[in-house]
C-alpha cells in the first residue's frame, strides 16, 4: 500500500497531560525521555477542556490551547525543548464530540445554540433533532423532576442558574415569570434520568455530558481543526492520533479531508478491530493506535489449555448463568440487549422514526409497523460482531459490510412469527447499507445506524460484558477476544506479516490511558493460565477464610489483586467497585445498591488487601519465571515488531496499573535506576532503552521498507520460542509458557538458526554468538534476547 506521508516516528511516548502534569512538567521530563530512545512525545488532547479534567477528551474550545496546561506558549515551549533534544510531538485530537460543561458558557458554540436555537450560526455543529420536544434541546441536568427543582432555579445577570449550571436566556425572555421563562427557552432542563429515552441530540456513547459534533460539515471541520492545523503547519507538532473515528458520520470522508489538510502527516486512528477484522484499505492513515497488536501480544503469552482449565474453575467457583458471565457469546449478546433496551433507547427510537419516514416516502416500503422496524433494528444491532459498517448511500457497500449485515439479518428474521412481518429486517438491513436511496433520511439513517452500532459495541462489550465474563481478566481488554484468548505463534507471525505488508507505520501499544489493566498487571494475570489448579485451590482457601458477598465479585477482586501485586486498598477498592457497577449484575452507576457496595468494600479490605494477600504473594513467587517471561517477552516483541511502538508513561519500568483513574497516576520521570539491578523493573528498563535506542539509530531496519521473517527453533521445546528477524539484521527472541518449558527440562539442545552468515551480538548481555544459537545459551540471563548482526 502506497504511503505518501513524511517518515513516521520510530517510537512515541504517551504523556497523559492534566493539571498535575502540565506542559512545563513535560518539558522538564524531555531529557530523560530523549535518553530513553523515543523519537516523539505523544500528548493527550491539548485544547481547552472542562476545568480539572484529567484526560482532556471533554473539549470546550477548539480555538485555544488549554490554559490549565500552560496555554499555547507552554505548548510551544515544550515543542522547542523537545526539538532541541531531537524529539517531535504527536497530538491527540477529538473530532467526534465536545463537553456539555457546567457552567455552559465554557462551550461557546453550544452556548449560542442554547441561546439562539436553530437560527444560531453554530446550530449546524451539533446533531440536534429540532422536531422533538417542541423544537427545544433536552438538557438532562436536573437532580429530580422539574416541578421538584423549581425552587433551585435563579435568574441572575441575564442567565438562568441551577447549582453549577449557568444557562443563557433567549433574548426578550429575561423578565418573564420563571414557569413561562423556562417554557420560552430553546432548551428544556429535565431530570437526568430522561437522557436514555428522551434525549434529542447525539452524544458520545451514553455520556450525556458529551455532545457529538457534525465534523462531516466542511465549515465545522474547518472551525474545529484550524488551531491543530496551525500547530502542524508551524512545526509545533508533527502528527496526529484521532480519537474514536467510529463515532463520525463518515470516517473515510473525514480522514480524506484531514489527510489533505495536513499534507499527509503521520496519523493513526483509535479504531478498535475485532479479531479477524481489517482496517478499511482506503483510509488515508498510517494505521490504528494499536489495540489489535495488544490483543495478539497478550494472546501469545496465554496458555490455551490452561485458559480452558481456568474457565472451568471459574464456572465451578462463581456458577454464573451462561448469559450473565458463564458463556462469552451469550454474555455479550445479553449485554447488547440490555443496551438497546435501556441505555441506548433514545438512539434506537430516533432510528425507528427515520426508518418510518423512509418507508412512508416509498410506496413499495409502506405498512411496516414501528414495532416491526424496532424489532428488526435491535435484532440486527445486537448481532454485529464488530463496531460498525462503513456504508454510504449512493455507493456500493464494501463486501465485508454487506456480508456483515446479511448474516445479522438472516439471524434476525427468526425473531418474527409471521414471515411477511420479518420483511422489516430487509428494510433495516438495506437502509443500513445505503441501498434504499440517497435522500436526507436515507443518509441520516445510514450514518446514525453505524454510529449507534459503534456506541452499542463499546458499551455492551467493553463496558459491560468484559466485567461480567471474568475467567481471565487479562483477556477482557480493549480489542480482546475473551472467548478465545490465546494466540498461537503462527497466528501472531501472520498478523505481523500483514502489518509489515499493509500498515508498516501503524501504531502498536501494550498499555494506554484506557486499558483496564496495564501490560505488567496483565502479564501477571496471564501467568495464571499456567497455574489454573493452584489458582482454584487458592480461591477455595481464601474464600473459606473471608467469605465474599458473591463469588463472581470475589473472583474478579482476587485476580485484580494478583495483577496489582500489592495489598493496596486505596487502589484496589475503586477498581472492584467500578467492576461491579459496570457489570450491572448487583449494582449500577445509575441504580446503586449502597448496602451491597459497602459489603464489597469491606470484603476487598479484609480479603485481597488483608492477611490472606500472603496467599497471592506465595503463588506469585511460584509463578515468577512465567511472570518474568510474559513481562519481558511482551515488551521486547512490542518494541521490535512491525509498526510504531507507543510507550505509555511510566511503563518503561514495571508498572502494574489497574483501570482508570489508577492508570493515569503520574510516574516519576526524574527517577534514575529502578533500584535493585537484578529486579524485574531494572530488567525491563534495560530492555526498553536498548530496543528503543536501536530503533532510533537504525530506523530503516524497522520501517516501511523493512522485512519481517518468522524464525523457528528446532527441538521439542520449539513452541516455547517466538522469534523473528527484521531486515535480516535484527533478531528478537522471546520465551512463552515458561512453566511447561521448565517441566519439560528446559531448552535442552534446542537451537535457533539465525539468518545469513557471520556473528551476532546479543545486545542485552553483550555476548556474541555464531549463526546457530543454542537457546539455552542464548537465553541464559534473560528469557528474551535481542541480537544484531556484527
The pLDDT of residue 108: 98
Region 218-228: mean pLDDT is 98
Distance CA 694, CA 690 (A): 6
Phi–psi pair at 469, nearest 5 degrees? -100, 105
Which 3 state secondary structure label does DSSP give 267? strand
Is residue 459 over pLDDT 80? yes
Residue 1 clears pLDDT 60, i.e. is over it: no
pLDDT mean over 189-200: 96
Measured CA distances, 25 to 18, 19, 36, 82, 665 (Å):
10, 10, 17, 12, 14
Alpha-carbon distance 211 to 109, whole Å? 11
Give the span between the Cα atoms of 551 and 539, in whole angstroms. Answer: 10
Does residue 385 surpass a pLDDT of 90? Answer: yes
pLDDT band at residue 757 using 50, 70 and 90 as cut-offs: confident
Quickly state the pLDDT bin for 267 (edges 50, 70, 90). very high
Q: Residue 670: is its pLDDT beyond 80?
A: no
Query: Average of pLDDT values for 372-399?
Result: 96
**Span 630-642, pLDDT tens digits:** 999 999 999 999 9
User: How far apart are the C-alpha atoms of 723 and 731, rounded to whole Å?
Assistant: 7
pLDDT of residue 604: 98
Average pLDDT value for residue range 173-177: 96
Q: Where does residue 571 fall: left (phi above 0), alpha (psi -120 to 50 degrees), or beta otherwise?
A: alpha
pLDDT score of 676: 76
In angstroms, rounded to a whole number, what is the distance separating the alpha carbons of residues 433 and 447? 10
Q: Is residue 674 pLDDT above 60, yes or no? A: no
pLDDT of residue 673: 58
pLDDT tops 50 at residue 3: no
Tell me what the mean pLDDT of segment 138-147 comes to.
97
β-strand pairing of 207-212 with 97-99 = antiparallel
Distance CA 648, CA 507 (A): 12
End-to-end CA distance of the chain: 32
Average pLDDT, rounded, for the chain: 96
Q: Percentage of the chain with pLDDT > 90?
A: 96
Q: In sequence order, what are the residues at sequence separation of 6 or more whose Cβ sits closer than 8 angstroms to the Cβ of residue 563?
A: 473, 474, 517, 521, 522, 524, 525, 656, 658
Residue 647 three-state SS: strand
- For the segment 105-120, the average pLDDT, to the nearest whole number, is 98
DSSP one-letter string for 162-214? ETTEEEE--TT-TTS-HHHHHHTSSEEEEEGGGHHHH--B-EETTEEEEEEB-
Whether the full predicted model's pTM is greater than 0.75, yes or no, is: yes
The pLDDT-based confidence of 675 (bands split at 50, 70, 90) is low
Q: Are strands 207-212 and 203-204 parallel, antiparallel or unpaired?
A: antiparallel
Higher pLDDT, 41 or 773: 41
| Cα–Cα distance measured from residue 589 to residue 576, given in angstroms and rounded to the nearest whole number | 13
Residues facing residue 723 across a β-bridge: 711, 733
**Cis amide prior to 535 (ω within 30 degrees):** no
Residue with cell 515488551: 635
pLDDT surpassing 80 at residue 201? yes
**Cell numbers found for residue 173:** 425572555
User: Would you give the distance in Å from CA 561 to the centre of its chain?
Assistant: 22
Cβ count near 617 (within 10 Å): 12
| CA-CA-CA-CA dihedral for 138, 140, 144, 147, to nearest 10 | -20
Q: Which has more confidence, 773 or 332?
A: 332
Helices (H), 513-568: 519-526, 532-545, 551-564
pLDDT for 756 equals: 83
Q: Is pLDDT above 60 for 4?
A: no
pLDDT at 668: 84
Chain segment 282-298, per-residue pLDDT in tens: 999 999 999 999 999 99
Strand partners, 162: 153, 165
Report whether pLDDT(485) > 80. yes
Radius of gyration of the chain (CA): 27
State the average pLDDT over residues 689-718: 96
Amino acid at each position: 500500500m502506497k504511503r505518501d506521508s513524511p517518515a513516521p516516528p520510530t517510537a512515541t511516548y504517551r504523556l497523559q497531560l492534566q493539571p498535575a502534569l502540565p506542559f512545563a512538567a513535560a518539558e522538564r521530563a524531555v531529557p530523560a525521555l530523549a535518553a530513553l530512545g523515543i523519537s516523539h512525545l505523544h500528548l493527550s488532547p491539548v485544547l481547552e477542556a472542562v476545568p480539572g479534567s484529567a484526560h482532556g477528551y471533554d473539549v470546550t474550545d477548539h480555538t485555544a490551547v488549554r490554559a490549565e496546561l500552560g496555554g499555547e506558549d507552554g505548548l510551544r515551549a515544550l515543542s522547542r525543548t523537545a526539538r532541541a533534544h531531537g524529539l517531535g510531538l504527536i497530538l491527540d485530537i477529538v473530532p467526534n464530540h465536545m463537553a456539555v460543561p457546567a457552567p455552559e458558557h465554557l462551550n461557546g458554540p453550544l452556548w449560542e445554540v442554547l441561546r439562539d436555537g436553530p437560527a444560531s450560526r453554530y446550530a449546524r455543529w451539533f446533531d440536534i433533532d429540532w422536531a422533538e420536544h417542541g423544537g427545544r434541546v433536552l438538557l438532562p441536568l436536573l437532580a429530580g423532576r422539574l416541578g421538584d427543582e423549581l425552587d433551585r432555579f435563579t435568574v441572575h445577570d441575564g442567565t438562568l442558574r441551577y447549582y453549577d449550571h449557568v444557562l443563557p436566556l433567549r433574548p426578550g425572555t429575561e423578565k418573564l415569570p420563571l414557569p413561562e421563562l423556562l417554557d420560552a427557552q430553546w432548551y428544556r432542563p429535565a431530570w437526568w434520568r430522561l437522557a436514555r429515552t428522551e434525549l434529542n441530540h447525539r452524544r458520545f456513547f451514553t455520556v450525556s455530558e458529551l455532545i457529538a459534533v457534525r465534523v462531516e460539515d466542511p465549515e465545522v471541520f474547518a472551525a474545529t481543526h484550524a488551531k491543530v492545523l496551525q500547530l502542524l503547519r508551524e512545526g509545533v507538532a508533527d502528527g496526529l492520533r484521532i480519537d474514536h473515528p467510529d463515532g463520525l458520520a463518515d470516517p473515510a470522508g473525514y480522514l480524506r479531508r484531514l489527510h489533505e489538510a495536513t499534507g499527509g502527516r503521520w496519523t493513526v486512528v483509535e479504531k478498535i478491530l475485532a479479531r479477524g477484522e481489517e482496517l478499511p484499505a482506503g483510509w488515508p492513515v498510517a494505521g490504528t493506535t494499536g489495540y489489535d497488536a495488544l490483543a495478539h501480544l497478550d494472546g501469545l503469552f496465554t496458555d490455551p489449555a490452561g485458559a480452558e482449565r481456568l474457565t472451568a474453575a471459574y464456572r465451578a467457583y462463581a456458577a454464573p448463568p451462561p448469559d450473565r458471565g458463564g458463556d462469552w457469546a451469550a454474555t455479550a449478546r445479553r449485554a447488547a440487549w440490555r443496551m438497546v433496551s435501556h441505555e441506548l433507547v433514545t438512539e434506537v427510537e430516533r432510528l425507528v422514526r427515520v426508518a418510518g419516514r423512509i418507508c412512508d416516502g416509498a410506496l413499495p416500503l409502506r405498512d411496516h409497523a414501528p414495532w416491526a422496524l424496532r424489532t428488526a433494528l435491535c435484532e440486527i444491532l445486537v448481532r454485529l460482531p464488530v463496531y460498525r459498517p462503513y456504508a454510504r448511500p449512493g455507493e456500493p457497500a464494501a463486501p465485508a459490510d454487506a456480508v456483515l449485515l446479511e448474516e445479522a439479518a438472516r439471524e434476525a428474521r427468526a425473531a418474527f412469527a409471521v414471515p411477511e412481518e420479518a420483511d422489516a429486517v430487509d428494510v433495516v438491513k438495506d437502509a443500513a447499507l445505503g441501498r434504499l436511496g440517497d435522500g436526507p433520511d436515507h443518509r441520516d439513517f445510514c450514518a446514525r445506524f453505524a454510529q449507534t452500532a459503534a456506541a452499542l459495541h463499546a458499551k455492551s462489550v467493553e463496558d459491560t460484558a468484559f466485567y461480567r465474563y471474568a475467567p481471565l481478566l487479562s483477556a477482557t481488554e480493549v480489542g480482546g477476544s475473551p472467548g478465545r484468548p490465546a494466540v498461537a505463534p503462527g497466528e501472531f507471525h501472520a498478523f505481523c506479516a500483514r502489518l509489515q505488508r499493509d500498515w508498516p507505520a501503524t501504531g502498536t501499544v501494550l498499555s494506554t490511558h484506557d486499558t483496564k489493566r496495564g501490560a505488567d498487571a496483565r502479564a501477571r494475570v496471564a501467568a495464571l493460565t499456567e497455574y489454573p489448579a493452584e489458582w482454584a485451590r487458592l480461591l477455595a482457601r481464601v474464600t473459606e477464610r473471608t467469605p465474599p458477598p458473591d463469588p463472581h465479585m470475589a473472583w474478579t477482586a482476587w485476580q485484580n489483586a494478583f495483577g496489582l501485586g500489592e495489598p493496596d486498598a486505596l487502589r484496589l477498592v475503586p477498581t472492584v467497585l467500578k467492576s461491579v457497577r459496570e457489570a450491572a449484575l448487583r449494582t449500577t452507576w445509575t441504580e446503586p445498591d449502597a448496602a451491597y457496595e459497602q459489603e464489597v468494600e469491606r470484603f476487598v479490605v479484609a480479603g485481597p488487601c488483608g492477611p490472606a494477600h500472603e496467599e497471592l504473594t506465595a503463588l506469585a513467587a511460584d509463578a515468577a519465571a512465567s511472570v518474568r517471561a510474559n513481562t519481558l517477552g511482551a515488551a521486547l516483541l512490542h518494541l521490535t515488531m512491525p509498526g510504531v511502538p507507543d510507550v505509555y508513561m511510566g511503563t518503561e519500568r514495571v508498572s502494574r496499573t489497574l483501570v482508570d483513574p489508577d492508570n493515569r497516576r503520574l510516574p516519576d520521570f526524574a527517577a534514575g535506576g529502578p533500584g535493585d539491578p537484578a529486579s524485574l523493573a531494572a530488567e525491563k528498563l534495560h530492555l526498553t532503552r536498548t530496543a528503543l535506542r536501536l530503533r532510533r539509530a537504525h530506523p530503516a531496519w524497522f520501517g516501511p521498507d523493512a522485512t519481517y521473517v518468522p524464525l523457528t527453533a528446532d527441538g521439542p521445546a520449539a513452541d516455547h520460542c517466538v522469534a523473528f528477524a527484521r531486515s535480516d539484521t535484527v533478531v528478537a527472541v522471546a520465551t512463552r509458557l515458561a512453566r511447561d518449558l521448565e517441566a519439560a527440562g528446559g531448552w535442552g539442545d534446542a537451537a535457533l538458526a539465525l539468518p545469513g552468515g557471520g556473528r551476532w551480538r546479543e545486545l542485552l548481555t553483550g555476548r556474541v554468538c555464531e549463526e546457530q544459537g543454542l537457546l539455552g545459551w542464548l537465553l541464559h540471563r534473560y528469557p528474551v534476547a535481542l541480537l544484531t548482526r556484527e
